[in-house]
Structure 1
Amino acid sequence: MVSAHEDDYDYLYKVVLVGDATVGKTHLLSRYIKGSLPKNPTATIGVEFATRTVPLAVGGTVKAQIWDTAGQERYRAITSAHYRRAVGALLVYDITREGTFKSCAKWMEELRQSAEPDIVIMLVGNKVDLVEKDPSLRQVYYDAAQEFAKLHGLIFAEASAVTAHNVKYAFEHLLQEIYEQTSKRREQQNFDHNNMVGGGIQVAAIGPKADSCDNSC
């Protein structure tokens, strides 16, 4: 559900969409933001940008800045620069193309090198609709992707931009997880701060929105 007031929010999170070309990143974003697929789909050149304000289940509202990055190798220098200050990512592959899944390890490492150290990553296997029509098209099995996600500390879901299956869930579960993890870190920082002050050691105050980014990020 979109907030009636786009500028009325409590947290600002930068999220990036990454993965090989033609896995459906732009379609997923269009389905989530507009509720429809692009009318004239073309390959993303560099980076495209969208925002959505989302109420959290626990209360409070998040404004998500979602950056759709190109998957082609020639744009890698441009796209990786936009990982800076990202606190979340959807790492997308095509379940009918094993090569796009194998690339996920490389994309994941790039994210962890260039984005925030504690970035929350959700692995998304797209194009479930194709497999529902013809199961023989599946090249990446659910259990294998789930095991990869578990091994690397990722959240995982399969989705379809065409049917909208799990699209809203993928984006908003990621936002919820970012909120929960940043809240835990903030609580721990406050706990450490109070203990240090109580022991006579003075530390700098911690900002209330350390997990946020402004429009310049």
Structure 2
Amino acid sequence: MKVEIWSDIACPWCYIGKRRFETALGNFEHRDGIEVEWRSYQLDPTLPEHYDGTETEYLSQIKGMPQAQVRQMFDHVTAQAAGEGLDYDFDKIVVANSFTAHRFLHLAKEHGLMDQAKEALLSGHFEHGEDIGSIDYLARAGAALGLDEAEIREALQGNRFADEVRADIAEARALGVTGVPFFVLDRKYGISGAQPAEVFSQALAQAWAERSPLTVLSGSPDGPACGPEGCN
């Protein structure tokens, strides 16, 4: 069964949602039969390559909120992240457009390393103050995962995987996704937001049960039927 997850690297709830989903998946008895696919999404595609200011100033500006209120929001999110073992530091965050980072993730996907790359970028952005808009950082992060640094730089300095990122975003719109993280199970169920692990567990169990092979009742002889070889 496939689980598709639309998320943005610059989304604090996306990292928390990733951890909560992983907790549910780790406890799911059929976890080996689950394929997870990360899909690209941008919360603010209009953001310049880099914003000359802090995360507090940026959100205060785009949301029209006092900076003190933004800081209260950060405190709440930081506490929620800590509950999942994550150490957010909003004072370190480099505010940058995530489009290039999403292209990097598609390159990692081509090499079967998208989940590892997603984890690295989310941690780099929210815990270590790395610049997700920097090709130098992305090349370094990719090399640490075993990707070829020259290939990373060539891909990101050009326009490679731009169409794939845009296609992910367009598909999200077509599905009615207006916020992330957004989880789609077997193209049948959608879950919006960083829900508790218990919600993901219930959804996995329900989606799996509904796609399981039909149970044929036993205890009586087969009735008359037709097959490839004819009828009986």
How would you bin the TM-score normalised by the shorter chain? under 0.3
Q: Which of structures 1 and 2 has the larger relative contact order (alpha carbons within 8 angstroms, sep 6+)?
A: 2
| TM-score, normalised via structure 1 length | 0.27
| TM-score, normalised via structure 2 length | 0.26
